[in-house]
Amino acid sequence: MSRYKSPVVRGAAKTRPVSRDDEDESMIVGDETNINVVVRCRGRNEREVRENSGVVVSTEGVKGKTVELAMGTSALSNKTYHFDKVFSPAADQIMIFDEVVMPIMDEVLAGYNCTIFAYGQTGTGKTYTMSGDINAPADLAMSENAGIIPRVLHALFDRLEADENDNSVKCSFIELYNEELRDLLSPDDSVKLKIFEENKKGHISTVVQGMEETYVTSATEGIDRLREGSHKRQVAATKCNDLSSRSHTVFTVTVYRKRLTETGEEFVNAGKLNLVDLAGSENIQRSGAENKRAAEAGLINKSLLTLGRVINALVDKSSHIPYRESKLTRLLQDSLGGRTKTCIIATLSPAKSNLEETISTLDYAFRAKNIRNKPQANQVLSKNTMFREWALEIERLKSELKATRQRNGVYLTPETYEQLTTENESRRILSEEQRDKIETMELHLRNKLQELFSLQTNYHSLKKDHETTKVTLDSTKSALEKTEALLAQTQQSLAEETALRKAYQHTERDLRGVSKNLIGTLGQTTADLDGLHSKLHRRSDLHDLNREEASALKMLVDSAAESIEERLGCVQGDQLTAIAKVHDRVLSFVNCELSQARSSCELLKEQLVAMDGSKICLQVLDQEERAEFRAVARDVEALRGQVRARVTDGLKELESAAQRIQHGIRTEVDSLHQYLHKSSTSLSSTIRDSGSALLNDLGRLLVQARSHTFRVDSKGEMFRDKVLEATRELDSFSRTETERRAAERAELLDTISKLLNETTECQADRLANRLRETQEALGCARTIHESYSNEFRGEAKRWSKDMHSTLRKAVHKGEELIAHCETDLEGATEATDRIRATTSEVHASTKRTIDTQSEELDRQLGALDGISQRVFSISEEKSAARTCEVDAHVNNVRAVFGQIVDKIEDSGNRMNILEADIAVYSDQLKDRALDLAHNPTSVADQLSSLRDNVRAAKYHEYEPAGTSPARKEYPVPDPSRLPRTSLGKHGRTDDDEHSASPSKRRFGSRSPAKSPSKRASPRKALVAEERVNRFGFGGPGEGGLRELDVNAFAAATGTEPLPKMLTTGGVETRKRKKRGGSAGTVGGENEDMPALSASVGPRTGLRRKRS
């Protein structure tokens, strides 16, 4: 086995091109043939079966020519593609090879360059089709699943072994990975290959520098080289394929065969087969490629996209084919549109999940089917010529090697050597060009000789024909007479047709005048339309300015509203804080006063209970005293009875004195009892009245305090409710104003040109009125709060005065009660003194009587003295006890009233403190309100500034420029009055003309004519060009009357053409050039005017006529 290095630069000392046979060979030109396209559909894989993906691809049995795609229920019909061959999933590798590759093998052995490449989505079986299983079993020469490349090698060597002539086979294996070429058969992986182009005999061929070509002597060696390169190939696992190819590979097999001519001369015939395995196109999202794999997928898709653009350019026969945009297309340049016979195998997936990629693959393959190559067989080379060249090459290499070893050659600087090499290359190219010209001239000379030989042959045949013609001349003369008669009739018909043509020409002149008027109307209409567009543009500019003003005012209103809401929130917080403090102070004061009043009431109730107890004690003492006096009276009566019984005579004289003494004592005792009872009752009544008056005064003061507290609380609640209500109203007004402003803004967008100024002023006035009402409400609330504060201070002062007055009254009542008690005590003392005086008088009178009755009445008088002494002592004891009790009660009453006076004074002091605190809180609220009213950045100033800005905003009114056109009627001719051709004298009318020409529309028909087809046949286009070019419009690249240029009539009639600014001919012309307009209608220049007038409507101008 030998290896052959093939550098790219020709003419260098140590290099030669890739294919030596391509240098000296001349191609035999063949016919153009389409690229052969084969479709192979694989079965569903495990992933697609697991996902329950349906089958959307159907074929005609195992081998057919059509592929049908099920587009789903939403599509109107399924898609069907036609190809050269279509194989179903049931087709195996042997069938693919026999049906597709074997015919190409015959072409390769015949001396043609052929290419087979697989194209399709990743994971559809491209590598399986091209390589397959390259690991053959031990008992078999080739695996059952072997692909095209192993089968090509086996079939090729089987054919060569059966041939007795000498032959040789060499192969190469290169990879295109990330737009970089790599030689998979080179032991050095770091060697980078480069692509160059070689222009040889007018044909550009692609040369790869540094690619190794290995000669193989058997199929096994070739498969080993394939296996060796496949192990170096870039593969990776994706979601679509576990062993996804990440590069494009080209496995090239070159065959050299020796042939013997009839003379025994030996020649060498060369054929080449390129087997290309392309990397599959993939969707990065579906394949899950990331980082490096994503970059690989991007470059793969880029190269395949360039391949698609090359295919489209070749199909469209574009002047520029983008081969240079990718190295893949440069490698396949000769296979696509070149001198190579090419077969494309498109691989498909039948799963519904891959429907988009399947459609893309079929579209590419269908487009590639239309590419036409010019296959050219390689001319055989003489064996002796090759030997001579090889001998010269060997001698040259030996001399260079000898000079290098002996160092006696010519040594040059790199610059001189490069210049020499450049000059040699230039001379070589010049010589090749001259040789090509010589070959071309020799070819022309051979063609001219062939033409001369054909002319001589034609001359001899014409001479024979001349002799034959003489014989037939006589018979022709008789036929001439008949022809002359027919000629007369034809001349008469010609005269009639001439008259008809002149009538049509007259009608066309009249129609030309009508068309001039219509063209003038069209220009005037276009000018009016420009004026209307200018007016709309000015109105649009004014609308933009007004919108900007409205937006600025909206931003200003929003900022002012936010500032007002912030300041009102601060005021509301201060008001609530002050009211809460006043409420807490008043509530604590009222609670304290209520507790003091309750304690005073309890104390008074205790004193009343004590006074009731004292009254009961006095009543008990009075009853005891009466009982004792009755006992004394009974004792005295008993003693008197005894004295009467003992001294009847002696006491008779004393009876009057005793009765007078008894009556005086009873009178004094009764008066004393009455006086004491009256004094006790008066004292009790006075105490009760004083206590009741004091309780009434305290109750009245308590009720007044409660009422005043309730009024203060209610007024505070009213003020707080008013502030909250004003705040809620302001918030509600802000929200309502925002909603109304949005609604009014929507209305303003519809009627902005009429209502902007009015709506803006209305919004400003409404906002100013609402804010003024809010200010008045806050001022009224402040006034009410001040009046309530003053009223509260007045009530507090009046309450203090009432408390002082009540205190003075209580003190006065207490002093009156004490004076009354002292008066009663003095009356009781006087009564006792009178009783004591009366007793003394009775004692004196009795002593005088006893002096006379001394002995008898000593014992009785002694007992009577004892009784008197006992009555006096009892009276003294009772008076002293009563006096002590009254003194104690008076002291208690004084102490109670002193406590009440102290509590009332404490209440007055607390009232003064409360009044000062309320005054402080009122002053704070008043200062806050004054600060809110007089602050330079207050709400009123902001609202006033906002109102001034709103009123100062100007609405830009539209000012007429005077250039807008006024409404007017454009002159349009009546279709019934248009000029018509009338030839009554020839027996033919317009109706006859219309009936004779079915392609013309009848007079007055308003139905539009059908549009011509998008593509016209070349024959019809040439006929239309001949008919239409007489009038200066139409042409092979333009449309019919539908694409009519109005200036074409101007060129034909000699009138002034319309300005270009009134037409859109430039755009239409470019569009027509792009799509290639259809040919004009034959005879369209003589079409009657009713059909033209049907396309002209009232006040619409001239429309493009549909042909």
The per-residue pLDDT for 994 is 43
Instruction: Give the per-residue pLDDT at 58.
Output: 92
The whole-angstrom separation of Cα 740 and Cα 737 is: 5
Q: What is the model's pLDDT at position 1070?
A: 45
CA 415 to chain CA mean position, Å: 65
pLDDT at residue 16, rounded to an integer: 36
What is the model's pLDDT at position 766? 64
- C-alpha distance from residue 1043 to each of 514, 1000, 1061, 1066 (Å): 20, 18, 17, 12
The pLDDT, as a whole number, for residue 165 is 81
Give the model's pLDDT for residue 574: 73
Per-residue pLDDT, 849: 61
Residue 436 scores a pLDDT above 80: yes
- pLDDT digits over 38-68, tens only? 999 999 888 888 888 889 999 988 999 999 9
Out of 494-503, 598-607, 612-621, the most confident range is 494-503
- Across 873-886, b (16+ Cβ under 10 Å) vs e yields eebeebbeebeeeb
pTM of the model: 0.40
**Of 230, 236, 237, residue with least CA distance to 47:** 237
849 contact partners, CB below 8 Å, separation of at least 6: 653, 654, 657, 857
Over residues 939-953, mean pLDDT: 69
Please tell me the predicted confidence (pLDDT) of residue 66.
93
Of 7 and 755, the one with more pLDDT? 755
CA 721 to mean position of chain CA atoms: 46
Beta bridge partners of 85: 38
Q: Is residue 1023's pLDDT more than 60? A: no
Element (H, E) at 169: strand 167-177
Contact (Cβ atoms closer than 8 angstroms) between residue 913 and residue 852: no
In 10 A of CB 100, how many CB atoms? 20
Considering only 771-775, 820-824, 975-979, 1090-1094, which range has the smallest mean pLDDT? 1090-1094
Largest CA distance in the chain: 240
What is the C-alpha to C-alpha distance for residues 251 and 153, in angstroms, rounded to an integer?
11
Lowest mean per-residue pLDDT among 156-160, 436-440, 443-447, 1037-1041: 1037-1041
Considering only CA atoms, which of 49, 40, 47, 189 is closest in space to residue 120? 40
Higher confidence at residue 583 or residue 846? 583
For residue 928, what are its two tokens?
């806050």
pLDDT of residue 1062: 40
**Residue 977: alpha-carbon gap to chain centroid:** 61
- Tell me if 215 sits within 8 A of 169, measured CB to CB: yes
pLDDT band at residue 1011 using 50, 70 and 90 as cut-offs: very low
Model pLDDT for residues 809-867, shown as the tens digit of each residue: 656 766 665 666 667 667 666 766 776 676 667 666 666 665 666 666 566 656 666 76
- Which among 515, 497, 832 has a CA at the least distance from the CA of 675? 832
The better pLDDT of the pair 945, 398 is held by 398
C-alpha span between 480 and 476 (Å, rounded): 6
Q: How would residue 1048 be classed by pLDDT, with cut points 50, 70 and 90? A: very low
Q: CB–CB of 267/383 below 8 Å?
A: yes
Closest among 842, 426, 777, 817 to 611, alpha carbons compared: 817
Backbone φ and ψ of 974, nearest 5°:
-75, 125
Distance CA 157, CA 767 (A): 102
Q: Does residue 337 carry a pLDDT above 50?
A: yes
Q: Residues annotated in the binding site, as ranges?
A: 120-127
Q: Identity (one letter) of the amino acid at 458? A: N
Q: Of 246, 236, 184, 239, nearest to 211 (Cα)? A: 184
Asked if 122 and 281 count as a contact pair (C-beta separation under 8 A), the reply is yes
Please give the pLDDT value at position 507.
Answer: 87
pLDDT of residue 22: 39
Nearest to 842 by CA among 692, 1032, 659, 1002: 659
Phi, psi of 59 (to 5 degrees): -130, 170
- Estimate to the nearest angstrom the gap between the alpha carbon of 765 and the chain centroid: 39
Instruction: Please return the burial class of 440, using the count of CB atoms within 10 Å of its CB with bins 0-12, 13-18 and 19+.
Output: exposed
Element spanning 257, H or E = strand 248-260
Mean of the pLDDT values across residues 445-467? 89
pLDDT for res 771: 59
**Mean pLDDT of all residues belonging to the chain:** 72
What residues have CB less than 8 Å from 787, skipping those under 6 apart? Answer: none
What pLDDT score was predicted for residue 787?
66
pLDDT value of position 1083: 43
Instruction: With a cut of 50, say whether residue 1020 has pLDDT above it.
Output: no
The token pair at 231 is 């192990």
Express each pLDDT in 302-331 by its tens digit: 888 888 888 888 888 888 888 888 888 888
Interval 1055-1105: pLDDT, tens? 555 554 444 444 444 444 444 444 444 444 444 444 444 444 444 443 443
pLDDT at 777 over 80: no
pLDDT digits 0-9 by tens, 207-237:
888 888 899 999 999 999 999 888 887 765 5
Strands 63-69 and 79-87: antiparallel
> Looking at residues 161-168, what average pLDDT do you find?
85
- Round to whole Å and give the CA distance between 42 and 351: 10
Q: How confident is the model at residue 96 (pLDDT cuts 50, 70, 90)?
A: very high
Q: What is the dihedral of CA 460, 461, 462, 465, to 10 degrees?
A: 130
State residue 917's pLDDT score.
74
> Residue 602: which residues within 8 A CB-CB, separation 6 or more?
none
Q: Looking at per-residue confidence, does 94 or 905 come out higher?
A: 94
Mean pLDDT, rounded, for 113-139: 85
Alpha helices in 316-382 (DSSP H): 327-331, 355-368
Structure tokens at 977: 């009055």
Residue pair 159/401 in contact by the 8 Å Cβ criterion: no
Distance CA 1048, CA 1041 (A): 11
- Residue 1037 confidence (pLDDT) above 50: no
Note the pLDDT of residue 699. Answer: 66
What pLDDT was estimated at residue 898?
73
Top-confidence residue, 81 or 742:
81
Mean pLDDT over 454-461 rounds to 89
Q: Picking from 112-121, 459-468, 1061-1070, which range would have the lowest pLDDT averaged per residue? A: 1061-1070
Phi, psi of 82, rounded to the nearest 5 degrees:
-115, 130
Question: Which amino acids are annotated as binding site for ATP, given as ranges?
Answer: 120-127
Residues 6-20: what's their mean pLDDT? 34
Are the C-beta atoms of 581 and 978 separated by less than 8 Å? no
Separation of alpha carbons 701 and 689, rounded Å: 18
Residues 278-294 have pLDDT tens digits of: 887 765 555 555 556 67
**Contact between residue 80 and residue 57 where contact means Cβ atoms under 8 Å apart:** no
Structure tokens at 690: 């004083």
pLDDT exceeds cutoff 80 at 918 = no
Taking 90 as the threshold, does the pLDDT of residue 151 lie above it? yes
Q: What pLDDT score was predicted for residue 345?
A: 94
Give the model's pLDDT for residue 1096. Answer: 45
**Helix (H) or strand (E) run with residue 296 in it:** helix 292-315
The DSSP letter of residue 97 is: I
Q: In the structure, what pLDDT confidence band is assigned to residue 148 with cuts at 50, 70 and 90?
A: very high
* Residue 114, strand partner residues: 273, 341
pLDDT of 173: 92
- pLDDT at position 517: 83
Maximum mean pLDDT: which of 350-359, 612-621, 715-724, 827-836 = 350-359
Q: Apex CA 608: angle with CA 606 and CA 609, to 5°?
A: 65
What is the model's pLDDT at position 939? 61
Residue 498 has pLDDT above 50, yes or no: yes
